[in-house]
Amino acid sequence: MNACLMKSSLNRFLTGPAIAAALFSLPTLAADLTWNSSNPANTVWTTAGVWNGPATWTNGDTATFNASATVNIGASISQTGITIASGQTLTLNNTATVKITGAGTISGNLTKTSNSNLLLSHSGGFNGTLGINGQWVILGSTATDPTGQTSNQTKVNITSGGLILGSAYNGGSATIGELSGAGSVRADWQDGGTNNHRRLIVDQSTNTTFSGTFNAGSSGRGLHLTKSGSGTLTVSNNAALTSAADGLRDIAVNGGTLKITGSTGSNSPLNNIAGTSLAISSGATFEAANTTSGIPTGIAKAISGSGTFLRSAAGNLVISGEAANSGFSGTWKSTAGTFGFLSETSMGGSSGVTLDGGGLFMNANGAGISSSKTITLGAGGGFFDGSTAWSQTWSAKITGDGGFTKRSGMLLTIDNPDNDYTGSTTIQAGTLKLGHADAIATSSQIIVGASTTLDVSAVSWTLGTTQILSGSGNIVGPATIAGTHSPGSSPGTQSFSNGLNYADSSTLLWELTDNTTGSRGTTFDAINLTGGALTITPGATIDLSFGGSVDFLNAFWSTPQEWLVINLSGSATAADSNLFTIGTITGGSNYDAGLGSFSILRQPGSNTADSLYLAWTPIPEPASALLGAIGFLIILRRRR
């Protein structure tokens, strides 16, 4: 290993016993180290490879390390440059607190170890990686110290201990170019100074993770955090954003992404310090990726800016800033988990919410969304939640190519006639009510899940010619089918309570999964009409689909069969005697028109009205037909 330490006297700073006590130790051989000095005594080494004097560091000296080394500094020094060669590391293993001052720049990788503090109070910056592995590195420890010890060229990695913004930064800011590791970042130091808050600016273009904590100092010295640069800073520790009531205060995201993956606690600076803010600039993203409902009382910080607030992990996240969020004109976006807003006011000046795999709920009974907002559904779709006992009306325009899924038990009314989303509409729980007939007019498929309700009673609703209606739930109110009706969920039973009208463009898709007429709604599709009239317009068709277990050579198909397709019960009536036209026949095995034929019958079902049945009439085999004919002739001859 080659290690070269070049030392040149530029200025005179410290004299006397304090500097004479300066101690450097390198685990290298004496021949590996050269001092560039007129004092030949500076090349004195012990046999153990430890430099222990009698040379002293002189005010304004510079040092260059061409190989990795471990150095013990016994006293404070002033320098005009410390350079560590690329790929090498200078380790400072101080036995007591020391301070580095001067106008020089520290370049390269420097790591502080041991249980003593290192005070960086020089003004020339730090171009390289600052590693902290024990106790504290304090920037600008006194109010009279200069600032500028670090810049966006300084990468800070903390293993233990941490970084402190000292009194020189009262009311000011320190910039670093990267933050990673664990430990702590805090605003504090023991020399007094003022109690102003201090700001750490992380201006990084790389992606790193910090699992440590941000902490307040004593006497109300709070810490602000700014994320700038194009990279992503991920804060992963559950406690990283949790501190005393005057801890991490204002958060600003000016560039790239500030991502929170830890579950923040009830004392989170996102919700516990009045008068503080979260500002997200245009093009920047604040990403809440905590995987539980870890912000139980919501984010009460005043949110502002025109960037993106992204929700990207499971769990509910409540935004409760109310009027304080009026300065936010950016985008609320959820790709996982659920956004909750205390009211529409909590959305601020934003035009609405984008959902691409995430969800939305309004966190109060009766809370709604006005038509001034837009809900955009990405390819991943959106989920809509709320307490079972609640009733809400959303008038926001719903747009995009994703699907709309209602998954809570509450009554949700949507009434914007300009909704133009093209994905499916799925009701997994509760009731979805249409306040306008066109509220779901462009949705490709309406799936009414088991034990759920699509309420169209307030409108004159028609399923469009390109739409599909499926599922095993209930449709309340008169329904006209102009598209495809595929009841059940392979198969299942769907119920209507106030009239069912099949237009001439409609198709009823009926499914049978086995060779049986039993288990209505389980082995074959079924429709129940409990009120209103059944109307079938000439031209309406029924397509038959058979599952893999259906085999037309099975003995079952050798005899006539009937399936109750639409059962009229209660106050339901038949408005006409029209029948569906048999359309396509697909699936099953060994189907051949020569085996028999399907037809539609009208006959009483659960009441006196004519329900609708599908009938199968087999065609006898030739031998059977011939025997039948012969038998008929014999009987006829005997009669003669």
- pTM of the full structure: 0.85
Q: Which of 35-39, 269-273, 556-560 has the lowest mean pLDDT?
A: 35-39
- Give me the pLDDT at residue 15, please: 34
- Smallest CA-to-CA distance from 321 within 283, 290, 363, 284 is with 363
CA 254 to chain CA centroid, nearest Å: 20
- Smallest CA-to-CA distance from 22 within 105, 125, 99, 128 is with 99
For residue 214, what are the CA distances in angstroms to 148, 198, 211, 223, 287?
A: 21, 12, 10, 8, 18
Strands 154-165 and 173-176: unpaired
Angle subtended at Cα 406 by Cα 479 and Cα 338, rounded to the nearest 5 degrees: 160
State mean pLDDT over 65-80.
71
Q: Above 50 in pLDDT, residue 179? A: yes
Q: Above 60 in pLDDT, residue 343? A: yes
Q: Above 60 in pLDDT, residue 24? A: no
Q: Which of 41-45, 489-493, 542-546, 579-583 has the lowest mean pLDDT?
A: 41-45
Cα gap 409→389, rounded to integer Å: 7
3-state helix, strand, coil split of the chain in percent (to 5) is 10, 45, 50
Say which residues have a Cβ less than 8 Å from residue 201's Cβ, sequence separation at least 6.
Answer: 173, 174, 175, 176, 226, 228
Say which residues have a Cβ less than 8 Å from residue 84's Cβ, sequence separation at least 6.
Answer: 64, 65, 90, 107, 108, 109, 110, 128
- Smallest CA-to-CA distance from 136 within 196, 193, 180, 186 is with 186
Task: List, in sequence order, the alpha helices (H) in 505-585.
Answer: none
Say which residues have a Cβ less than 8 Å from residue 633's Cβ, sequence separation at least 6.
Answer: none
Cα gap 638→243, rounded to integer Å: 108
DSSP string, 540-552: -EEEEEEEEEEET
Hey, what are 567's tokens?
């059962």
Q: What percent of the chain has pLDDT over 70?
A: 79
What is the end-to-end Cα distance of the chain in Å, rounded? 127
- Give me the pLDDT at residue 197, please: 84
**By the 8 A CB rule, do 107 and 88 touch?**
no
Say which residues have a Cβ less than 8 Å from residue 236's Cβ, sequence separation at least 6.
Answer: 209, 210, 211, 261, 262
Cα gap 543→89, rounded to integer Å: 76
- Give me the pLDDT at residue 84, please: 82
CB 573: neighbour CB atoms within 10 A? 17
Cα gap 473→125, rounded to integer Å: 68
- Give me the pLDDT at residue 40, please: 38
Higher pLDDT, 427 or 290: 427
With bands split at pLDDT 50, 70 and 90, how would you rate the model's confidence at 238? Answer: low
- 323 in helix, strand or coil? helix
Say which residues have a Cβ less than 8 Å from residue 214's Cβ, sequence separation at least 6.
Answer: 184, 185, 186, 223, 225, 240, 241, 243, 247, 248, 269
- Give me the pLDDT at residue 33, please: 36
pLDDT tens profile 469-514: 999 999 999 999 999 999 998 899 999 999 999 999 999 999 999 9
Cα gap 125→147, rounded to integer Å: 9
Q: Per DSSP, what are the bridge partners of residue 81?
A: 62
Q: Above 50 in pLDDT, residue 236? A: yes
- Smallest CA-to-CA distance from 191 within 128, 259, 144 is with 144
For 594, counting Cβ atoms within 10 Å of its Cβ (0-12 exposed, 13-18 middle, 19+ buried), the class is exposed
With bands split at pLDDT 50, 70 and 90, how would you rate the model's confidence at 5? Answer: very low
For 249, counting Cβ atoms within 10 Å of its Cβ (0-12 exposed, 13-18 middle, 19+ buried), the class is buried
Hey, what are 600's tokens?
């539609």
Cα gap 233→473, rounded to integer Å: 46
What's phi and psi for 17, nearest 5 deg?
Answer: -60, -30
DSSP string, 14-55: --SHHHHT-----SS-GGG----SS-GGGG---TTS----S-
For residue 440, what are the CA distances in angstroms to 476, 482, 516, 581?
A: 15, 14, 37, 28
User: What SS3 string covers 161-214?
Assistant: EEEEECHHHCCCEEEECEEEECCEEEECCCCCCCCCCEEEEEECCCCEEECCEE
Q: Per DSSP, what are the bridge partners of residue 198?
A: 223
**By the 8 A CB rule, do 365 and 387 touch?**
yes
Hey, what are 73's tokens?
């500094």
* Rg of the chain taking only CA atoms, in angstroms: 39
Amino acid code (one letter) for 139: L
Mean pLDDT of the chain: 84
